[in-house]
Homo-oligomer: A and B are copies of this chain.
Amino acid sequence: MAAALGLSVATISRVLARPEMVKPETRKRVMKAIETMGYRPNFLAQALARSETRLAFFIVPILSPFFLDVMDGVEQAAQEDGYFVLMANARRDLQRIQTFYEQVAARRADGVLLLTGLLPPSLIPPKAVWPPTIIVAEPIDDPRGITVAVDHAEAAHIALRHLCGLGHKKIVHIGGPLRTLSSRERRRGFEEALRDAGLPFSPKLVIEGNFDVETGEKAIVTFFENGIEPTAVFAANDEIALGAIRGAHRLGLRVPDDISIVGFDNQHFLEAFEPGLTTVNIPRFDIGYQAMKRLVRKIANDKDVSSLRLPTELIVRETTAPPRIGKKTQKKPM
């Protein structure tokens, strides 16, 4: 190309890759030619020669605002390291995840950020070879899975400490589908925290559902039908919590006067809500950022990239207060 101007292609390549190896004089000459000719190295050729795509798959089970924030962090980190992110929507189909992994094998991308705890079949066997992979936002029990996430059980503890600190004794949990480890962990945290507070646990205090508004709305009604009459609810995510608020209203209960509700995630759309939902914040951007940083190291064959747990934080807003009936503890929340 620019070699037509006296030099060989090798020299051109060098001024771009290792400028110090070339005589300053010719370097400038080449630089100028690059400038005037508007030369850009062909990325495909580079990729083939180096055998790297500088692409990472971002595999989600479904598109959601939660993943969007994670993606934001991923994109930021990717940009810093010269990577781009490939959106891969599995649409709840494990088979499609498999397909994405085959794409990696076909040199379509260098690694994958897996936003789900369910592994594709090909990764399950003990001697299966894993392409560079980071499990994101979801815990996993396979020891080969490097993960970046929060401690869901601990987050549940944080929420429960707040509720107990307010003096609540009748606390229930509305959880997500138990097939996900994160749901199980939140539930476990709920159970542990109850015991830590000297409160009795019973399976009747927990209802499992989906991560949606409807689940929360129905669950709250079910509790009262079953004679449970909680004064506080720990929901497995914000949608469920919002549903619980709606259900409470439907029963003629005021929030937080008659019943306190704590959510999980601290999603952006909560800003538009009244009353402001007390919830547990998950650092979604940071999770994405750290995950991508680790993936880059993994791709570079760094042997000691380890899992990472990011801290959660309670965001106290307006849906929690001391219980109306029973002794109103004056301990500060937390």
Contacts and interface: CB of A to CB of B under 8 A. Distances in A.
A43 B269 CA distance: 40
Contacts of A47: 44, 47-48
Contacts of A65: 65, 68, 269
Contacts of A43: 103, 106-108
A23 to B, nearest CB: 26
Contact of A48 (B44, B69, B71, B85): B44
Given A40-B106, A86-B86, 12 more contacts: A41-B106, A42-B48, A43-B103, A43-B106, A44-B107, A45-B48, A63-B69, A63-B71, A84-B86, A84-B88, A84-B108, A85-B86
Contact of A213 (B69, B89, B272): B272
A274 interface: yes
Interface stretch (A222-230, A238-246, A254-262): A238-246
B72 A89 contact: yes
A281 interface: no
A75 B48 contact: no
> 10 shortest A-B CB distances, which residue pairs?
A269-B269, A40-B106, A242-B272, A44-B48, A43-B108, A85-B87, A43-B106, A75-B89, A43-B107, A213-B272
Contact of A42 (B42, B89, B106): B106
Interface in A82-135: 84-89, 102-103, 105-108
A65 B89 CA distance: 15
A65 B269 CA distance: 10
Contacts of A55: 86
A71 B271 CA distance: 24
Contacts of A239: 272
A264 interface: no
A106 to B, nearest CB: 4
23 contacts: A40-B102, A42-B48, A42-B106, A43-B106, A44-B47, A44-B48, A44-B51, A44-B53, A44-B107, A48-B48, A63-B72, A76-B89, A84-B86, A84-B87, A85-B86, A86-B87, A213-B272, A239-B272, A242-B272, A246-B274, A269-B269, A269-B272, A273-B273
Contacts of A88: 75, 84
A289 interface: no
Contacts of A72: 63, 89
Contacts of A234: none
B105 A40 contact: yes
A190 interface: no
Q: Which of A44, A47, A89 has the most CB of B within 10 A?
A: A44
Interface in A158-194: none
Nearest to A239: B272
A55 B274 CA distance: 43
Interface in A27-86: 40-45, 47-48, 51, 53, 55, 58, 63-65, 68-69, 71-72, 75-76, 84-86
A108 B45 CA distance: 10
Contacts of A242: 272
